[in-house]
């Protein structure tokens, strides 16, 4: 038996013995007028104590995922039976017939109370969309720094996290110019912190969007998941699901965003509207382990427009000059 299986079995027994109960944690999803991608997680979760809303990040990691749970998804009266994977994650595509805009669906299981998920249906005529990184792009978290990453993730309340200057205004202006554009927040962060991220985005007036996060911890094949692979796979998936949409890719130069976005721009030139990179300050870059190389040659990045600035205001000015605002 794999070490991960042994640890999970032990955590499950302890959780059930100490009163943890099955819970469906529903995440925003997306789709077209004929299908939807449903995202949720089934976990054993403790009842949080009264905290006056000041939740600490570590509580998100006390839950234990429930493997291979059966979940019923109700969409406009139609019931679909799906299953969570070995990590407790529900990530499935089901048929649906919904009008463009936001909708609410219901998820149920035998043990857990029902949960609601919001689903964004993209209009068929949509030709522009936004994919944005989170860490050090819309939120200053300094994720690559081991100590501060641990502090931000496990201790700090989302109310104390710092929004990146000007980024909320930039994204809001883009939505004003392109009201049908879907917004997807693509991050290597774990699903455990999704509720806190949603509250952070709402509190700081970022456009409502869909989170695309990843599992946290080891798999059967490796000890650490690949963040680059997660981002690459989701970008390729979006390109396949929405062949008529050109994407504005927003990230920062503290990790691998320039490399990932440049690769997408080369392989999916017709679906890349532009790349916008937030430049870390010298101090942020130093603590992040260096600044990523920004591909400036047309050969490296394709023909996509490429803008960079230290904040949202600088990016907005350049994107306005290009006609995106």
pLDDT score recorded for residue 45: 74
Across 76-103, average pLDDT: 94
* Structure-model confidence comparison of residues 237 and 288, the more confident one: 237
Nearest to 83 by CA among 44, 123, 40: 40
Helix (H) or strand (E) segment spanning residue 21: strand 21-31
User: Strand 139-140 and strand 78-83: pairing?
Assistant: unpaired
* Mean pLDDT value of segment 156-164: 73
* Residue 320 pLDDT greater than 90, yes or no: yes
- pLDDT tens, residue by residue, 267-308: 999 999 999 999 987 666 665 555 665 555 554 556 789 999
Which pLDDT tens digit goes with each residue over 112-140?
Answer: 899 999 999 999 999 999 999 998 899 88
Lowest mean pLDDT among 85-94, 149-158, 218-227: 218-227
64-65 vs 89-95, strand pairing mode: unpaired
Q: Does pLDDT of 58 surpass 80? A: no
Q: Which residues of 241-259 are buried (b: 16+ CB within 10 A; e: fewer)?
A: ebeebbbbbbbbbbbbbbb
Q: What is the largest CA-CA distance in the chain?
A: 60
Confidence of residue 51 (pLDDT cuts 50, 70, 90): very low
Domains of the chain: 18-121 (2.60.40), 128-321 (3.40.50.1000)
The residue with greater pLDDT, 221 or 129, is 129
pLDDT computed for residue 117 by the predictor: 97
Nearest one of 23, 24, 26 to 211, comparing CA atoms? 26
Cβ–Cβ < 8 Å for 167, 138: yes
Where residue 208 falls among pLDDT bands split at 50, 70, 90? Answer: very high
Tell me the two tokens of residue 1: 């038996």
Check: CB of residue 138 under 8 Å from CB of residue 163. Answer: yes
Average pLDDT of every residue of the chain: 83
Question: What per-residue confidence (pLDDT) applies to 68?
Answer: 86
Distance separating alpha carbons of residues 204 and 306, to the nearest angstrom = 26
């Amino acid at each position: 038996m794999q070490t991960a299986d042994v640890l999970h079995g032990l955590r499950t027994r302890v959780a059930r013995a100490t009163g943890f109960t099955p819970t469906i944690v529903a995440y925003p999803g997306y789709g077209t007028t004929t299908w939807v991608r449903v995202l949720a997680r089934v976990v054993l979760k403790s009842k949080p104590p009264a905290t006056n809303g000041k939740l600490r990040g570590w509580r998100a990691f006390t839950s234990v995922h429930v493997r291979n749970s059966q979940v019923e998804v109700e969409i406009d009266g139609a019931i679909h039976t799906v299953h969570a994977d070995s990590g407790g994650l529900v990530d499935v595509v089901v048929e649906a017939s919904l009008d463009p805009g936001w909708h609410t669906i219901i998820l149920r299981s035998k043990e857990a109370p029902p949960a609601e998920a919001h689903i964004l249906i993209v209009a068929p005529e949509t030709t522009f969309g936004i994919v944005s990184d989170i860490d050090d792009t819309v939120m200053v978290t300094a994720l690559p720094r081991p100590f501060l990453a641990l502090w931000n993730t496990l201790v700090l309340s989302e109310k104390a996290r710092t929004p990146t200057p000007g980024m909320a205004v930039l994204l809001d202006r883009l939505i004003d110019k392109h009201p049908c554009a879907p917004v997807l927040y693509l991050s290597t962060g774990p699903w455990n912190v999704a509720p806190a991220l949603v509250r952070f985005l709402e509190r700081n007036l970022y456009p409502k969007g869909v989170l695309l996060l990843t599992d946290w911890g080891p798999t059967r094949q490796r000890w650490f998941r690949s963040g680059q692979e997660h981002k690459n796979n989701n970008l390729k998936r979006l390109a396949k699901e929405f062949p008529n949409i050109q994407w504005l890719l927003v990230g920062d130069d503290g990790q691998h965003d320039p490399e990932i976005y440049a690769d997408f721009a080369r392989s999916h030139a017709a679906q890349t509207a532009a790349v916008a990179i937030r430049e870390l300050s010298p101090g942020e870059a130093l603590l992040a382990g260096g600044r990523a190389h920004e591909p400036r040659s047309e050969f490296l990045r394709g023909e996509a427009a490429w803008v960079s600035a230290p904040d949202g205001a600088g990016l907005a000015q350049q994107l306005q000059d290009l006609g995106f605002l």
